[in-house]
Amino acid sequence: MPSAYDQMWEKLNLDLEAHEGLLAVLGKFYGDIYMSQQGRLKGMEYLDFVLSEVHGLRIKELQDAKASGKKVVGTFCVFVPEEIVLAAGAVQVGLCAGAEIGKAEAEKVLPRNTCALIKSFVGFKLAKLCPFIESCDLIVGETTCDGKKKAYEIFAEYSPVYVMEIPQMKAACDRELWKSEVGRFKSTVEELTGNKIAAGDLRDSIHLVNERRRVLQRLNRLRAAVPVPISGRDALLINQISFYDDPVRFTAKISELCDELEQRVKSGAGIAPDGTARLMLSGCPMAVPNWKLPYIIESSRAVVVGEESCIGTRNTRDLVQEGSATLDDMIDAIVDRYMRIDCACFTPNTERLDNIVNMARELGVKGVIHYALSFCQPYSMEAYKVEKALSAAGIPMLAIETDYSMEDVEQLKTRVEAFVEMTR
Ligand code: SF4
Ligand code: SF4
C-alpha cells in the first residue's frame, strides 16, 4: 500500500518494496508481542506512537533538521559521547541493527559466523532498508570488537564512516588514549557542523543527556517494585526508543509515564500474577526489534525486572559530573564517565561482574539470564565469569546464545521454562 512517506523514502534511495515488507513484518511482530499485553500504562501509548512512526515522522523530523542546516550523526555503540554531538548543534541517532531482514545481502560480504548485530547493520545498508542510516551525514563506529572494527571498513565503502579507538583496559595510559580520542572526535564533529563547541553549549548538552539518564534511572527504580508494575518488554522498548527519539521530548514523556507508574506502585497494583518469577537479563544489547528473548521469558511465568546491557543500565547508570567551570574540565568529566562503561570488550572486566551481582541483589531476582549473540566472543566468553560470580552469590544463571531468527524459539522456550521452574 502506498504510504504518505513514499516520496521521502524514495529520495533517501530506499528499496520501497523491500522496505514495505520490513514495515509489515515489524507491525505484525509488534502487535503480537506488545499490543497483546494486559494492563499496560497509558503512557505507553506515546511509545506505541513513536514506534509506529519510526520510519515516518521521526525521519521527517531528521529531514527538517537537515534542511535547517543541522547534521545527523548515527552511532552503534554507547561509547560515542552524545554530549559532544549535541553541543555542536547536531542530532545523534542510535542505529538499531536488531532485525535479520538484510542478512542475505550481508552474507555476501561478511563471513557467516559474524554476530547478528553486525550482519544487521551491514544488511540494512546493502539492502537499502534503513532511512536512519540514509539520513546520516556521518556514522560513528568504534573498535570495541574485531567484528565491528572490520565491518566498518566495508561499511565505509557505502557511507561516510568515522571510527573511534576504544581502549580495552583501564590503566592511566588507556584513559589518556580515550581522552585523545574524545578530543579527536570533538574536532571531527566541529568540522562536520562548522560549529566550534563553547563551554556553555557543552554544559547544556551534558545536562540534557544526564536528564534523560535520570528519568531512565527513575524508571528502573520504579519497575523494581513488588509487585512488578510494568513488563520487561515495555521497559526495554522505552530504553530502545531513548536512542533515537528527540531527547527533550522523550525525557518529558517518560517523566509523565513515571508519574503514572509511581501511582501504580503506591496502589500496590502489578502486571503479573502472584508467583511470577522475577528475572534479570544480562549481556549483549537488544536493539529494536529484537524482542524475542524477553517475549519468551515473559510467556514462561517470569517477568524481566532489569537489563544489565547497553540498552539498559549500562547506558544509564553513570552520569557525567556536572558543575565543571571550563571546557577542559567538562571534557575530563565526559572522559571519566565513559571510561566507567563495563563492556565485555575490556580485560579484565571485574567491574561488570560486581555490577551484575549488585544489581541482581538489589532487584531481588530469582535468577539471571545471560544473553549473548551467537559468534559474539566478548560476551559469550565472559558468561563463564558472570556465572561464577553469580553462583558465589547464590544466584542461578542460564546462559543463552541466539540470533535474530525465529528458528530456535521453541527450543529457547523449553530451556527458559525449565530455568524458571528451577528458580522456584
Ligand atoms: S556492548 Fe560494548 S560494543 Fe556493544 S554497544 Fe555496548 S559498549 Fe558498545
Ligand atoms: S554483539 Fe558482540 S560481536 Fe556483535 S558487535 Fe557487539 S561485541 Fe561485537
Ligand positioned closest to the Cα atom of 95: 1
Q: Is the pLDDT of residue 284 over 90?
A: yes
Task: Supply the pLDDT for residue 96.
Answer: 85
Ligand positioned closest to the Cα atom of 114: 2
The answer to whether the peptide bond before residue 227 is cis (omega within 30 degrees of 0) is yes
130 CB under 6 A from ligand 1? Answer: no
> Which grid cell sits at 113?
559466523
Nearest CA to ligand 1 atom 5: 77
Task: Output the DSSP codes for 190-246.
Answer: HHHHT-PPPHHHHHHHHHHHHHHHHHHHHHHHHHTSSS--S-HHHHHHHHHHTTTS-
Distance 124 CA to ligand 2 centre (A): 17
Per-residue pLDDT of 378-408, as tens digits, reads 999 999 999 999 999 999 999 999 999 999 9
Per-residue pLDDT of 129-162, as tens digits, reads 999 999 999 999 999 999 999 999 999 999 999 9
Task: Output the DSSP codes for 306-324.
Answer: EEESTTTHHHHS-PPPP--
Ligand positioned closest to the Cα atom of 285: 1
Per-residue pLDDT of 65-97, as tens digits, reads 999 999 999 999 999 999 999 999 999 999 989
Distance 310 CA to ligand 2 centre (A): 11
Nearest CA to ligand 1 atom 6: 310
Q: Is the pLDDT of residue 3 over 80?
A: no
Nearest CA to ligand 1 atom 8: 77
Average pLDDT over residues 198-212: 98
User: What 3-state class would DSSP assign to 101?
Assistant: coil
Beta bridge partners of 304: 279
DSSP assignment letter at 107: T
Task: Supply the pLDDT for residue 2.
Answer: 67
Q: Please state, rounded to an integer, the average pLDDT across all residues of the chain.
A: 97
Q: How many CB atoms lie within 10 A of CB 253?
A: 21
Pick the atom of ligand 1 nearest to 284's CA. 1
79 CB under 6 A from ligand 1? Answer: yes
CA 241/CA 410 separation, integer angstroms:
28
State the pTM of this model.
0.97
Per-residue pLDDT of 19-61, as tens digits, reads 999 999 899 999 999 999 999 999 999 999 999 999 999 999 9
Pick the atom of ligand 2 nearest to 373's CA. 1
Distance 6 CA to ligand 2 centre (A): 33
72-75 sheet: strands from edge to edge: 91-94, 72-75, 138-142, 161-164
Pick the atom of ligand 2 nearest to 146's CA. 8
Ligand positioned closest to the Cα atom of 346: 1
Q: Is the pLDDT of residue 175 over 70?
A: yes
343 CB under 6 A from ligand 1? Answer: yes
Distance 117 CA to ligand 2 centre (A): 7
